[in-house]
Amino acid sequence: MEKLEWSALEYEEKTRSTDWFWALGIIVVTSSIASIIFGNYFFAALLLLSGLLLGFFAVKKPHLVPYELNPKGLKIRTLLYPYKNIRSFWVQTRVEDGKIQLKPTFFVKTERAFMPVISIPIEDHMADDIRSIMLSQDVAEEEMKEHPSHRIMESLGF
């Protein structure tokens, strides 16, 4: 079995206008003031902290993440997912579905309890290689898609 290596950004970087940050600030401050008026000081503090963290992560640059399919399993950075712990996979190729353009993505369903489905961006030309490697390791192929909440968050600018 061959080894397949690639790297991709951990998330798609979005450029946000100053209006986006103004809207975030206005929403957080007015929600916090309303929370204080109703006497819920803990929730007001939580809203302010959440708004600050959201603003921080909005300006943070994505890191380049190395991926590798090798004879032992799927390696993401330094974490190895052995093939025996991978329940199923799906390789989504670039498709235009009406107004929505689906990006080439490698989905992996693991045995993890928290966030069991991992979505990994890939290049178009890698789809067949990934599929053949996974099938050669007797990993089940199961159609998967991005969660609808991911599309909603993208449309909101996250």
Helix axes 41-59, 18-37, angle to 10 degrees: 170
Q: At residue 51, what are phi and psi to the nearest 5 degrees? A: -65, -40
H/E stretch holding 121 reads strand 117-121
Quick: pLDDT tens for 45-56.
999 999 999 999
Whole-prediction pTM: 0.78
Q: How many residues does the chain have?
A: 158
Q: Which residues of the chain have pLDDT under 70?
A: 1, 95-101, 156-158
Q: Which CATH architecture has domain 62-153?
A: Roll (2.30)
**CB-CB contact of 151 with 102 (8 Å):** no
Q: Which of 87, 78, 82 is nearest to 110 (CA)?
A: 87
So where are the chain's domains?
18-59, 62-153
Average model confidence (pLDDT) across the chain: 89
